[in-house]
Amino acid sequence: MKNVYSVAVVGVGGQGLLTLGSILGYACMLSGLDVSVGEVHGMSQRGGSVIVHVRIGRNPSPIIPVGGADHIIAMELLEAARYAHYARKGGVLTANDFIWPPPLSNYPSREEIIGKMKGKELLFYLFNANDLSNRIVGSTVSANIAMLGFALGVDQELRSIVNIKHVEEALLEHFKGKVYEVNKELLHIAYNEGLKHAEKK
Amino acid sequence: MDHYLLKPKGSKVLLLGNEAIARGALEAGICFAAAYPGTPSTEILEVLAEVADECGINVEWSVNEKTAFEAAYGAAISGVRSLTAMKHVGLNVASDILMSSAYSGVEDGFVVVSADDPSMHSSQNEQDNRWYGLISHIPVVEPSSPRDAYKLTKEAYKLSSKYKVPVILRSTTRISHTRMPIELEDEVFFERKCKGVFRKDYERWVLVPGNARKRKLELMKTWKTVIENEGREPFVSILNPGLKKAIVASGIAYSYVKEALDLMNALDKVTVLKVNLPVPLPVEPVKKVLEYADEVLVVEELDPVVELQLKSIAQTLGYKSRVIGKSVVPENYELSIETLYKPIADFLGSPAMDHWISIGTVKTDPPIPPRPPILCAGCPHRNTFYILRIAANKAGLKNPVFTGDIGCYTLGYQKPFETQSTSFEMGGSIGVAHGLSKSTDNPVIAVIGDSTFFHAGIPPALNVVYNDSNVAIVVLDNLTTAMTGHQPHPGTGVSATGKRTRRILPEKILEAIGYDVTVINPLRVKESVSIVTKAFENYRSGAKIAVVSRMRCALEALRLSRKKNIILPVYHVIEEKCTGCMACIKLTACPALILEPGEKKPRINPEICAGCGLCATICPYNAIEVKNKPSMNWETTWWD
Ligand SMILES: Cc1ncc(C[n+]2csc(CCOP(=O)(O)OP(=O)(O)O)c2C)c(N)n1
């Protein structure tokens, strides 16, 4: 691994980005790595655009530079496009196949965004995490866990740094009992989906 | 005993900078903590409140920062270690007692955490509170990372006890809100000193001029001693001493400097002075650097606090080194490895190599729309703003000015509400309304949140009555301090540690002051419109009126409904009845209402709809209806 591996988690305030970032951070710690997880609290959490900076490496500074993200995990498509320039050339971007437009706004269609994304020097993966969460958990609340599992599945470097077993263990910091069990199941289904997607490319 | 903050010595935990500060304070032996919430400081007290009972310490949300500071100071002058925490602007509110506390000092460790917000992620301004150290002559400790914050909190307590002065611990958003694995060095369970003794000493505790003059000399003696004696680790460290070029990095700036040097393979090419005591800047280590360095670059976030002191030391002692800082390092917004790379490379004469090659921006047609924060689906403020607009109109108020304040409801400045035409600082809505009313012919309506009303709204409300202006007051009572993450306040009847306490109602206070107060339930839109219209009519005829709009914060209501298994209504648009007039979207700007590109009629996202029903009330064609079977008692989640 190079000095620092950077994962940007982006989306809309309220989509569970902090939980995703903190679980990934916890998993890093369990894997014996140093990590910093830069969160966003306060005003932007009220439906605003949010970026969480996860930096894995020794004593990392807290903010990912533009062009410095090895992987972007996007919980929403407009936010995926908004923050795409954080990705380095040849980096990975995994996006939840879901558009949540700001009220009263004029916004590009799903096809337009996907088309433009595919024109970039980027490993781009789409995944319907809302749908999977709905099927396994009964609502979209765990779409963040599904995205985390999928992102690990598609990104060989990330999953060689952070072991899926440690992610599973890190879930325990947030969930207990039955809720933990379903989220663990969701994580694994999404992870296997990710592995399959990566093979296809 | 399974709270992560209380893990035994030797454990490794992933802590937020704020939690690291809280843990450090617990290890240092505090028994009292008081604060008022404010991003990015909030989680310090929040997590202390969670463990308060288990640790046997006193933890409270005070009504504002001045009150919190005074309470914690009271503990410290009786010899009980204490903490207060606030966001940068909170220290403005507490600055009066801050200045005096320096004169009288403390009997045991007292740390004032000031969490600054460079880049204004969640604030009305950015200010560098290290200046407060210089004005008050109070030492400022500034960590470089969350891990540093944990260790330096403990050091700050030692420093405070040693010199018997308050110490400011300055954090910033990127320290307070960044998580890092932290290895715990000490235990938190031990016999704490929780009962102090107040020793009467009128020359020390009574700052009449004669006493204050003597205390000032004492204070300056301590100040000079700190400058001379505290230039040591962990407050100041010198890496690679004796080189011709030196970088001085204060607080978080050190993290970026280190990473930049690492990327340039220049870690051993330059002397680095890591400063974690920027105020007052100790002389010895600075001398050691200036002795050898011809060129010095000072890197710090926001203002040139270290730079000015360092230049002054160099000038006084006759060093000829060239010192630069803010002429090349940005002085606005937070720093990053990105903004610092070039100034550091230039300083070292390294090539400005591109380490980060971006894929470039994704340009779509139409472009990605901005996504500013918005009122949540079901937010009671949305209903109240709608009601205020309609009622003002019905009551014939011409060109009303809605002065605003600070909280989630500030978002009411946006279209379609425009019921927040000003927002400066907490309590300002009522204070500024008074002046506007005295100086213009507009009807002036001050719109203020419940927590903000208790914090700083009461004195200006008194002033309106005493000095007789024409101001109407609207208190938005969502039964919590929502903006900062739902802390209780005097109107909730619940304490920081979840205990019942006497509930204080805003309407009782306003009545006592002399307002005619009506309380509305904005969930019932039509009923509220007619009540507020009447109140505004009274206002027009010269009455002092106030409205308290009470409905639970939607995030809390949703939480409650899940906990109690109450099914809330979910609305949908009946396609056949909808004419596509867009009144619902245009008048509510609710995030649950979605218009797909190319579509003519909106739809409601059932995952997001909170069931407040405002859109259904507004729809002129009755095309929005409840589609599920809500519980009988669903309204109790919003209003009890
Ligand atoms: C002096 C000061 N202290 C703290 C804050 C942080 N802060 C911003 S809004 C707010 C209170 C919001 O609560 P409330 O008035 O009840 O409105 P709500 O967010 O619930 O709508 C606080 C504490 C601040 N901006 N200024």
The string of pLDDT tens digits covering residues B579-607 is 999 999 999 999 999 998 889 999 999 98
Distances (CA, A) of B17 to B31, B109, B284: 20, 20, 30
Domain boundaries along the sequence of chain B = 4-229, 236-356, 380-551, 566-637
Phi-psi region of B583 (alpha: psi -120 to 50; beta: other; left: phi over 0): alpha
Closest CA to A2 of B337, B263, B145, B352: B263
- CATH architecture of the region B380-551: 3-Layer(aba) Sandwich (3.40)
B369 and A116: CB-CB below 8 Å? no
CB B42 within 8 A of CB B484: yes
State pLDDT tens for residues B227-267: 999 999 999 999 999 999 999 999 999 999 999 999 999 99
**Which of A43, A99, A107, A112 best tests the B interface by mutation, with the highest count of B CBs <10 A?**
A43
β-bridge partners, B516:
B545
CA distance A180 to A4: 30
Prior bond of B506 cis (ω within 30°): no
State pLDDT tens for residues B156-168: 999 999 999 999 9
Mark A13-30 as b/e (b = at least 16 C-beta within 10 Å): bbbbbbbbbbbbbbbbbb
Q: List the residue whose alpha carbon is closest to atom 5 of ligand 1.
A: B38
Q: List the residue whose alpha carbon is closest to atom 22 of ligand 1.
A: B38
| Class of residue B425 by CB neighbours under 10 A (exposed 0-12, middle 13-18, buried 19+) | middle
Question: Which atom in ligand 1 lies closest to the alpha carbon of residue B452?
Answer: 15
Cα of B610 to nearest chain A Cα, Å: 14
| Class of residue A200 by CB neighbours under 10 A (exposed 0-12, middle 13-18, buried 19+) | exposed
Q: How confident is the model at residue A3 (pLDDT cuts 50, 70, 90)?
A: confident
A103 and B485: CB-CB below 8 Å? no
CA distance B593 to B619: 13
State pLDDT tens for residues A53-96: 999 998 889 999 999 999 999 999 999 999 999 999 999 999 99
B236-356 and B380-551 share one fold = yes
CB contact A84 to B (< 8 Å) = yes
Residues 6+ apart with CB under 8 A from B240: B267, B268, B270, B271, B272
Please state which CATH number belongs to domain B4-229. Answer: 3.40.50.970
Residue B64 CA, distance from chain mean position: 12
State pLDDT tens for residues B509-525: 999 999 999 999 999 99
State pLDDT tens for residues B462-501: 999 999 999 999 999 999 999 999 999 999 999 999 999 9
Cα of B138 to nearest chain A Cα, Å: 28
CA distance B471 to B58: 40
Helix (H, G, I), strand (E, B) or coil at B189: coil
- Its domain, for residue A42, covers 4-97+107-200
pLDDT at A2 over 70: no
The confidence score (pLDDT) of residue B211 equals 98
B364 and A113: CB-CB below 8 Å? yes
Is residue A166 in some structural domain?
A: yes
A12 and B121: CB-CB below 8 Å? no
Q: What chain B residue is nearest to A26 in terms of C-alpha separation?
A: B14
Question: Which atom in ligand 1 lies closest to the alpha carbon of residue B483?
Answer: 19
B39 and A43: CB-CB below 8 Å? yes
Interface of A with B in 125-164 (CB under 8 A): 139-140
Span from the CA of B88 to the centroid of ligand 1 (angstroms): 13
Is residue A32 in some structural domain?
A: yes
**Which of A9, A46, A171 best tests the B interface by mutation, with the highest count of B CBs <10 A?**
A46
Closest CA to A3 of B299, B267, B339, B148: B267
Q: How confident is the model at residue A47 (pLDDT cuts 50, 70, 90)?
A: confident
E strand segments, A17-117? 35-38, 49-57, 69-74, 87-96
B356 and A68: CB-CB below 8 Å? yes
Cα of B485 to nearest chain A Cα, Å: 7
With vertex at residue B627, the alpha carbon angle to CA B623 and CA B631, rounded to the nearest 5 degrees, is 130
User: Mean per-residue pLDDT for B59-78?
Assistant: 98
Cα of A200 to nearest chain B Cα, Å: 23
pLDDT at A200 over 90: no
CB contact B318 to A (< 8 Å) = no
Which residues form ligand 1's pocket by a CB distance below 6 Å?
B 36-38, 65, 87, 89-90, 93, 406-409, 426, 449-452, 476, 478, 480-484
CB B33 within 8 A of CB B157: no
CB A8 within 8 A of CB B356: no
* Gyration radius from chain B CA atoms: 28
Using N-to-C axis directions, what is the helix angle for A129-137 and A177-200, rounded to 10°? 140
Domain at A114, CATH number: 3.40.920.10
The overall average pLDDT reported for chain B is: 97
pLDDT at A1 over 50: no
Residues of A within 8 A of B256 (CB-CB) are 61
Please state which CATH number belongs to domain B566-637. Answer: 3.30.70.20
Pair of tokens at residue A83? 């923050």
Read off the pTM.
Answer: 0.97
pLDDT at B119 over 60: yes
Closest CA to B528 of B629, B383, B422, B379: B383
Is residue A102 in some structural domain?
A: no
Using N-to-C axis directions, what is the helix angle for A177-200 and A143-154, rounded to 10°? 40
Closest CA to B252 of B152, B174, B330: B174
Q: How many CB atoms lie within 10 A of CB B208?
A: 9
Helix ranges (DSSP H) in chain A: 17-30, 77-83, 110-118, 129-137, 143-154, 156-161, 164-171, 177-200
User: Mean per-residue pLDDT for B528-547?
Assistant: 98
Is residue A66 in some structural domain?
A: yes
Do you know the residue count of chain B?
A: 640
Question: Integer distance in angstroms from the first to the last C-alpha of chain A?
Answer: 23
User: Mean per-residue pLDDT for A106-124?
Assistant: 96
Closest CA to B150 of B164, B169, B163, B168: B169
A87 and B367: CB-CB below 8 Å? no
Residues of B within 8 A of A84 (CB-CB) are 359, 361-362
Residue range B236-356 forms a domain whose CATH class is alpha beta
State pLDDT tens for residues A135-192: 999 999 999 999 999 999 999 999 999 999 999 999 999 999 999 999 999 999 999 9
Cβ contacts below 8 Å, chain A against chain B, sum to: 202
**Which of A41, A52, A55, A122 best tests the B interface by mutation, with the highest count of B CBs <10 A?**
A41
Question: Count of domains in chain A?
Answer: 1
Distances (CA, A) of A186 to A10, A181, A190: 20, 9, 6
Distances (CA, A) of B358 to A37, A83, B205, B354, B473: 21, 11, 60, 10, 51
Residues of A within 8 A of B145 (CB-CB) are 36, 59, 62
